[in-house]
Structure 1
Amino acid sequence: MTTEHVTVAAAHVAPVFLDPAATIEKAIGFIAQAAEEGASLIAFPESFVPGFPIWAAVHAPIRTHDAFAAFAAASIYADGPEIRRLQDAAQRHKIFVSIGFSERDPASVGGLWNSNLLIGDDGNVLVHHRKLVPTFYEKLAWNPGDAHGLRVAQTRIGRIGALICGENTNPLARFALIAQAEQIHVASYPPVWPTRPPEQAGNYDNRSANRIRAAAHAFEAKCFVMVVGSLLDQAACEWIANGDKDALSVLEATPASESFFVDPTGAVFGESTMAQGLIFAGLDLGRCIEPKRFHDVAAGYNRFDLFDFHVRRDRLRAAHFADVEEEGAEIATRLEGRQAG
């Protein structure tokens, strides 16, 4: 049975840059705090562990080999000890956890994904999503993901989905979640996302862009949206700039992200913040129903006889090793023969 009234928390916090163990410890502290203050779900920013690869934006690719090596070394496996600690914390505090992390590819020592996990209040992983397409300079750090994680989890507090940063601009990715009756949508973002030097006009405004697309998704899906941004602290700025004053000026002048909540009408409500800490919102999931009478694009306000939408949700792999499957089949056949004899 789904709870109609839910309290959620957005963690607008900075990681301990490139220190996954310390960042996980920090996350566990906020998980405990959110649970103590009555939240049933806490959401963390994009690539919270071990931080966001903004160095790819402010330095030439040929000057970022060491930065990438450090970032890869600090990235984590989806089934590694760091994630298990988060699972234990979620189970211990009986709270759902959505968290972004840079995921290591078991098939490649240099392969990484921009990933997000939704962990249940029993400690089990409910959804493991890899960002479909790294955006702009993110391609220098991460590989394309797949649609395996385009899933909405049915939970006791409602139907929860999540997309990472620019995916919230992708109408097809968003519709894949809308078509699964999403009620609570987590949209995770980096601390800053520079596209131009500060002396030029037209730099990307994270805050403004995120408000536009959060409102669009909330209005189209008739769901609540949690927008979760991050912070870039001084230690991270200095590491990323690496002594380059121009790079540091870009980081300091680029518009910062914001965390806030949007209701099913597309209106921002409740708390918002650009400072480190938790913000909370009470969600009445019953409010998702009435707007569906006006525009329900997953049901009566669409034409599925005219539009045919397919999503491949199998995991993409570098290779499929048939000999392993064949050997397994041969062993099974031999065992069956012995048993028959």
Structure 2
Amino acid sequence: MAEMKRFVRAAAAQIAPDLDSADGTLARVLEAIRDAARQGVQLIVFPETFVPYYPYFSFIQPPVLQGPAHLLLMERAPTVPGPLTDAVAAAAREAGMVVVLGLNERDHGSLYNTQLIFDADGQLLLKRRKITPTYHERMVWGQGDGSGLTAVDTRVGRVGALACWEHYNPLARYALMAEHEEIHCAQFPGSLVGPIFAEQMGVTIRHHALESGCFVVNATGWLHEAQIRAITPDEKLQGALRGGCHTAIVSPEGKYLAEPLTEGEGLVIADLDMALISKRKRMMDSVGHYARPELLSLAIRREATATTRAWGDAAPASPAAASSPATEPSVDPLRRAA
């Protein structure tokens, strides 16, 4: 008997944060979930560090002047778990929707670029942190670890996520390919650098879809002109905060399933025909019949990092990867033989 077709309706959100209030941005998240639910959406992806907002100030201010803006971001940043995650979990549960949210996570005296995946029943399945903040971001966020380089089983399928230029780390992407992600959720800040950033983003997400044989749902942020002027009154610097938006959904064959959104706010919505994954991988499976593990393989250190450990204790389990089985780092077979 032929296998029944399975479709997933996905949405990528391109919306502006509230630069004055974390609660205001959260309200925008909850409203977008309700709006998407009315349109039958089963999976929604929000932009990179959307709550309370991406640190746009760090792109245009020298580090010596960033102190006040950085402290304000720390003050507004949520903890995980906390009231914010409770509210998003409740909204996901009410809508029966998988939610992928980017936020600035405060962990005591540090901030992290964090991605959360909530299942349709509201359960927080994954908390991962961007492994290497990019360029100016290194003055704002700490580094993540390998515990979040995994895909998780959700109501819509096997879902993985990376943030922004993590997509230029081929080994990070391969780690998720090896986890057999079916839907890859990408997040970018938007409103940076201009059209060239948007063009590069389009190339990047389409390449990952083709190489991984999965769907890519990519969300980028948006800033209104008044918000750009609020971030900086310098007209020369304001140009660096425009453009760079390319919210889109791509099939495993590298095709756009809806017109990408490059200006303004809105939801990009498409129906994902999950049969296209097998259609693509039948010809090219990067982690299966097209791989050559005896020649090329990836070693991943999956345990969470910690600043302290009691002598003799095993490495602490990662709250972010509680739903994933622990795996030992790969060992080079030639080194083992030696």
TM-score (structure 1 length as normaliser): 0.86
Query: Contact conserved, 1:218 with 1:266, CA < 8 A, in 2?
Result: yes
* 1:60 pairs with one of 44, 59, 62: 62
Deviations 1:178-214 (A, max 9, x none): 11111111111012233xxxxxxxx772210111111
Match of 2:119 in 1: 120
* Residues 215-226 of structure 1 aligned to structure 2 (within 5 Å): 215-226=206-217
**Identical counterparts, % of pairs:** 31
The separation in 1 between residues aligned to 2:203 and 2:250, in whole angstroms, is 11
Paired residue secondary structure (1:320): coil
TM-score (structure 2 length as normaliser): 0.87
Match of 2:221 in 1: 230
* Residues 248-327 of structure 1 aligned to structure 2 (within 5 Å): 248-251=238-241, 254-273=242-261, 274-321=263-310
Q: Which runs of 5 or more residues in structure 1 are unaligned?
A: 195-202, 326-341
Query: Contact conserved, 2:120 with 2:154, CA < 8 A, in 1?
Result: no
Q: How many residues align structurally?
A: 311
Match of 1:331 in 2: none
Deviates more, 1:204-213 or 1:23-32: 204-213
The separation in 2 between residues aligned to 1:289 and 1:309, in whole angstroms, is 24
Match of 1:138 in 2: 137
Moved over 6 A (4+): none
The separation in 2 between residues aligned to 1:178 and 1:324, in whole angstroms, is 32
Deviations 1:281-325 (A, max 9, x none): 000010110221221111111111222312112111222255999
Match of 1:332 in 2: none
Sort the Cα spacing of 1:83 and 1:206 in 2 relative to 1 into closer, same or farther, 3 A. same
Q: Which runs of 5 or more residues in structure 2 are unaligned?
A: 315-338
The separation in 2 between residues aligned to 1:215 and 1:22, in whole angstroms, is 33
Alignment of 1:4 with 2:6, yes or no, is yes
Deviates more, 1:151-160 or 1:123-132: 151-160
* Residues 54-133 of structure 1 aligned to structure 2 (within 5 Å): 54-106=56-108, 109=109, 111-133=110-132
Query: Contact conserved, 2:17 with 2:53, CA < 8 A, in 1?
Result: yes
Match of 2:148 in 1: 149
Query: Contact conserved, 2:250 with 2:256, CA < 8 A, in 1?
Result: yes
Query: Contact conserved, 1:227 with 1:261, CA < 8 A, in 2?
Result: yes
Deviations 1:198-250 (A, max 9, x none): xxxxx772210111111110000111111111101234313321x33332243
Return the letter of the residue paired with 1:256: G
Q: For the pair shown, which has the larger CA radius of gyration, 1 or 2?
A: 1
Query: Contact conserved, 2:192 with 2:240, CA < 8 A, in 1?
Result: no
Match of 1:16 in 2: 18
Deviates more, 1:118-127 or 1:271-280: 271-280
Return the letter of the residue paired with 1:312: R
Paired residue secondary structure (1:142): coil
The separation in 2 between residues aligned to 1:174 and 1:206, in whole angstroms, is 19
Query: Contact conserved, 2:22 with 2:76, CA < 8 A, in 1?
Result: yes
Deviations 1:79-134 (A, max 9, x none): 1111110011101111100010001113xx2x111011010111111111100100
